[in-house]
Structures are given as C-alpha cells and as structure tokens.
Amino acid sequence: MPNVNWKLITGLLIALVLVAVVALRLTRRVPPYNPPSNRTITDWGSLDNQTAQRLQNILDQNVNHLIVPGLQAFVRTPDGRTWSGTSGTTDLRRKHFLGREDILRVGSTTKTFTAVLILQLVEEGLLRLDDPLSLWFPDFPNAGRITVRQLLNHSSGISEFLEDPAVMMKSILSWRAWKLQELLDITAKREPYFSPGSDWHYSNSNYVLLGLIAEQITGKTFAQLLREKLLDPMNLTHTFFVPNEPEPDALLRGYDRDLSHFPGFLDIGVKSKSWATAAHASGALASTADDLGLFYSRLFAGELLSPDMMEAMLTFIPASNPGFDPQVGYGLGLMQLNVDGQELIGHVGEFMGSTAIAMYAPDTGSLVVVTANMSYPDLVKVVSDLLADIQPG
C-alpha cells in the first residue's frame, strides 16, 4: 500500500477551506430593502405625519443607495420639533428589522463626550486648558510644550497609534485587548507630525491621553466619570462605554467591507475587544441615534457647559482632513464642516463595523444624527438629504 502524504492532504484541505471562506465573503451581499407595510413612523416624535413620511422615505432610499443593512436617525427641526426613525435590518439577510433601541458602536462621536467631560473638569478648577502634558506624562515627547487645548483640537503633533503596522495587524484579532500603556509606548516612539501648535493632524492618541489625564486628576476610571457626569444625569439609558462596561443586551454586531482588507462583508461581533480597547476615550462609546440626539441637543442648547467653555469649544482652527473633504475646521471635540455651502458642527464616528454622525446647523438650529451598522458609508449624504427636507428654503 503506497504511503499517504498526510501533510499534503492537510495542506490541500486548509487551502480549500480558505478558498471557501474567501468565496463566501466575496459572494455575500445586502439585498434591496423592502419596508414592511405595517410599520409605525408617525408617533416617534412631534413632527407632523407628512414630514415624518418624507423623512422615512429618505432613510429607506439611502439604505438601498448606500447598500447598508440599516440606519437609525434622530432629527430636530429649526422650530424644535423632533422625529426618530429607522430603516433596514440588523442582518445581511433582511430577516430582523433595526429598531430605535438597538445599540451600535458610535466611534469618534465619543470625542465630543470626552471634550465636554474635560471642560467640566476645567470648570471645577481641576486643570486648565493651557496646562502642559508634562504635569501628568513628563517623559512623553514634547510634553512640556503640548497643552490640554492642543490635545483637544488635534494641534499637538502627536502621532496616530492606529498608523502603526503592529497595532493594525494585532487589532484584526478581535479578542486582543489592548492595554493603554502599550499604546502610549508605541505612540511615544513614533515621529511627531509637527511641532506642537504649528499645524493640525487628527490623532486618536490625543484623546486616549485626555482620558488618562481625567483618570489621574479624579482618581476614577473614565467609564465611571462618563457615567457620573454625563450618561446618568442626562438619562442616556442606551449609551455604554464598552468593553470597560458590560456589553448591553441590545448591542448589535456590525459589518465591515471597507476598513479591513478582507474581501466581502466581515462580521464584527459584540464581544470584539481590540478596536474598542484601543479607542478608549477617543471612540469606545456605544449608543443610539436618539441618545446622541439628546446629548448634542443639550450641548448646543448650552446646558452642559458654561458660556466661557462653550466659546472655547466652538473656537475652530483651520483643519482640512484628507479623505474627508467636507471638514474645514476643528474646535475642542467638534468638527466644523461645509456641506452644500452650509456650516455644520458636530462629529463623525467611524468604527470597525459601524458609523455615526451628529451634525448641528448653527444658522437654523437644526440637528441630525444618523447611525449605521456598517463601516464607513457616506452618512454626510444622509444628513444633507434630511436637512434639505426640514430646513426653510
């Protein structure tokens, strides 16, 4: 009987499995979404039925235009009326409809929460905007010349840890939990973009440092601070800092087809730790469009910060962002966009498996929040479509 080459057979079987996995990813699609005929769209807010139906149609159209599983939206009109809506599904097979209370990771919209928390600590006299980073991290490069304000508006020059090849490769492993000291060590070894205060460059490293500063000066974890200062007082019952808090039952899996290099649609499970532990204070929140709508509504109504701190937050420096053409400026935890000639203020959050955007139009008082269970769709278009419907003219 001839000898069997088990190594060859094993190798061929592994190769066949890999080919099958790739083929499955490449052939996965999101079929067109057909809204159910019996859904309720008119009792989720104070808008009239006709306007609510138009907004719902805009969501339905964009689910299919962007080829995403689902979208959530919160809308506040110039006269203060509101509407919330959803469209699409939680899955790629169009079996389970997305709901208003389903929770998605909202990425860098977390930065606005972090900035508000830091500014509240400034109001309490625990730190100043012009305090140097060296007060807390004396050995960090340029620490004596980097201020809290520069961390908040991304003018510190500190490099982005997500650009490090080792971080990118290891973060593909969903179970890989990052320790923040690891990320700081990696960041400190990377060449700064520029001298502090001389230019602008977006870097999540800035906000990881801000979260650690808040922990040092209060003796509490960042999760505790968020809960005590913002989430609980505002009754944001569907907002969580995960995985530093337990994953809520309503947290959904997401899907990626753009941020990773895997072909087709990649599932991002609710237990995934790598991106969230790395993001920390820069992007680890999970929430709903409704909760984000409440937070940004109260922020721009002046209810969360003093007039002086709001003025500081809304002081924008020139900040063009390669790959995100609408951005023209950045304040303290707030992006400034120019969309169809209109100034919009808020933040975009891109996360592995989900995306969020919250935008306020200061000239009209309109506010639109949109979330998606997919990495990186063009949610600016959805915001623009919704704003065009509710604003005069």
Whether 222 and 210 have beta carbons less than 8 Å apart is answered as no
Furthest C-alpha separation in the chain: 87
d(Cα 239, Cα 2) in Å, to the nearest integer? 64
Report pTM.
Answer: 0.92
Per-residue pLDDT tens digits for 196-241: 999 999 999 999 999 999 999 999 999 999 999 999 999 999 999 9
Pick the CATH number of 104-111+119-125+221-390 from 3.30.465.10, 3.40.1280.10, 3.40.710.10, 2.30.130.10: 3.40.710.10
Length of the chain: 393
- pLDDT for residue 391: 85
Q: Which of 333, 342, 341 is nearest to 300 (CA)?
A: 333
| Three-state secondary-structure class, residue 360 | strand
pLDDT tens string 100-144: 999 999 999 999 999 999 999 999 999 999 999 999 999 999 999
Q: For 266-329, give the DSSP string.
A: EEE-TT--HHHHHHGGGT-EEE-HHHHHHHHHHHHTT-SS-HHHHHHHT--EE--BTTBTTEEE
Do β-strands 240-241 and 335-339 pair in parallel, antiparallel, or remain unpaired? unpaired
Give the C-alpha distances (Å, rounded to integers) separating 176 from 21, 218, 283: 22, 28, 17
SS3 state of residue 155: coil
- Residue 65 pLDDT > 80: yes
Domain map of the chain by residue range?
104-111+119-125+221-390
